[in-house]
Amino acid sequence: MLTRAYQHSLNSSGVLAGQPLLEVHDVTLRFGGVSALTDVSFTVTQGHIHAVIGPNGAGKSSLLNCASGLYHPQDGRIILHTGAERGATSHELTRLAPHRIARLGVARSFQNIELFAHLTVLENLMLGRHIHMSHSVAASLLWFGPARRQEIAHRGLVEEVIDLLALQAYRHHAVGSLAYGIQKRVELGRALCIQPALLLLDEPMAGMNAEEKEDMARYILDVHELAGVTVVLIEHDMNVVMDISDRVSVLDFGRLIADGTPDEVKGSPAVIEAYLGAEGTA
C-alpha cells in the first residue's frame, strides 16, 4: 500500500454531522431513597465533543453508566440514533444489556483503569475487537482458515489505532508495567478498537500531571478530528473542558443546571455557584 492514510474508519455512526446522536430524556436514577439523577435531559450532537461536568457526586459517572447499560434508570429514556445499516435507526438504551449497547457502537473508558494488567497492549486492544469476531472456539484455537484471516484483518485496524495513539513502543509490553498516562491511552485505544458510534470517556485525565493532560487532550482531539468520532467526556479540569469541548452540560446534585457552549456555561450564575463556589473564589 503506497499511501499512509488509514484504511479503516474508526467512526461507525451513520448519523450525519449536526444531527442528534444521543438523546437523554428526563432520566431519573435512584438508589433506594437517594436520587443520583433527577429529570436529566440533553442531546449529544454527532461530531461534537460534549463535556459533562459537575462537582463530586453530581451524578456524572451515573449518567455514563446509564448510557452504557451498567445502570438502568427508573424513569426516562436514552435514545441512540444510528445509521440505517444497523436495522432500526434509533434504539432505546435504557433497558438494554451492556453488551447489546456495545454492539450498537457505544464504547467507553473507565475512571479507574479497567485493563487486563498481565496482557500486552496489543492483546488488550485486540479484545476491543472481540465483539466483531465471529468464529468457533475450535477454529480460533487451531488458528485456521477464516479465523486466521479474520484475526489478521482485525489486527490491521488495531495497528492503525496504535499508530493514531502513538503506542508503537509499548505494543508488546504488559499493560501493568506501563506508566499511568500510557495505560489511560491504552484504555482510550481499546474503546476506539470497537469502532464506536459514540465514545464515552469517564475522566480520561484524572490523576495526570500537566504534561500528560496535554498529551491526552491532544489524543482526544485527534480521535475527534482525524477519526471523526463523537465524544462524551467527563472531566474535572475546567481549562481542558473549556478548551476542547463544543458543548458542555453541567450537573449538580443529580440535576442538569446548565447546558450550552463553553462560553455560555462559563457565564451561567448557577454554574459559578455550584461548580466554582458561591463567591467564585476558585
16 binds other proteins (CB under 8 A): no
18 binds other proteins (CB under 8 A): no
282 binds other proteins (CB under 8 A): no
Please give the backbone phi and psi of residue 228, each rounded to the nearest 5 degrees, phi first: 70, 25
Smaller CB distance to other proteins: residue 155 or 266? 155
The number of residues that bind other proteins (CB under 8 A) is 19
Smallest separation, CB 148 to other proteins (Å): 15
Reference 83, options 65, 105, 61; nearest CA is 105
* Window of 22-30, 33-41, 134-142, 168-176 that interacts with other proteins by CB under 8 A: 168-176
Residues 110-149 that bind other proteins (CB under 8 A): 122
Smallest separation, CB 16 to other proteins (Å): 17
Smallest separation, CB 171 to other proteins (Å): 6
The 222-241 contact track toward other proteins, x by CB under 8 A, reads: x--xx---------------
243 binds other proteins (CB under 8 A): no
Long-range contacts, stretch 206-211, CB < 8 angstroms, 24+ apart: 206/111, 206/236, 207/180, 208/180, 208/181, 208/184
* Window of 62-70, 87-95, 99-107, 221-229 that interacts with other proteins by CB under 8 A: 221-229
Residue listed under C-alpha cell 496535554: 214
Which residues fall within 8 angstroms of residue 235, CB to CB, at 6 or more apart? 51, 53, 203, 204, 205, 241
Q: Which of 12, 104, 159, 178 binds other proteins (CB under 8 A)?
A: 159
Q: Please check whether residue 24 is in contact with residue 5, taking contact to mean a CB–CB distance below 8 angstroms.
A: no
Cα angle value 119/196/164 (rounded, 5°)? 65
Reference 82, options 226, 196, 192, 189; nearest CA is 196
162 binds other proteins (CB under 8 A): yes
Sheet containing 75-81: which strands, arranged edge to edge? 34-45, 20-31, 75-81, 90-92
C-alpha separations of 152 from 8, 108, 146, 172, 224 in Å? 14, 24, 10, 17, 26
Smaller CB distance to other proteins: residue 97 or 169? 169
Smallest separation, CB 178 to other proteins (Å): 13
Smallest separation, CB 180 to other proteins (Å): 16
Q: Which three cell numbers stand for residue 9?
A: 474508519
| Residue ranges binding other proteins (CB under 8 A) | 2-6, 122, 156, 159-160, 162-164, 166, 168-169, 171, 222, 225-226
